[in-house]
Amino acid sequence: MIILNDEPYQCEANTSVQTIIEDKKFSFPNILVALNGLVIEQYLWRQKTVKDGDNLIITDLHHGG
C-alpha cells in the first residue's frame, strides 16, 4: 500500500507511476508528480515504480492570472 494524495491506495509492488495515473484516470492537462517529495519528470513516469509505504502526489498545475 502507498499513500496517494494523502489517502491510502492499494497497488502491486513495482507498479509504475504511469499505470497509477491511468488507473486513477488523472487527465489534467498539466500534471505534477512527486514521489517521496521528489518531482518525477513525465518522461520517467513509465520507468519509475512505487514500493510499499511510498508517498505519491499527483496534482494538476493551475495557471494563475
Series of mean pLDDT values for 10-residue runs along the chain (65 residues): 97 95 90 97 97 96 64
Domain 2-60 has CATH 3.10.20.30: yes
Residues 33, 39 contacting (CB under 8 angstroms): yes
Long-range CB contact pairs, 24-27, < 8 A, 24+: 24/58, 26/58
> Whole-model pTM?
0.89
CA 5 vs. chain centroid, Å, equals: 8
Strand ranges across the sheet with 31-35: 7-9, 2-4, 55-60, 31-35, 38-39
pLDDT of amino acid 63:
58
Side chain identity, residue 5? N
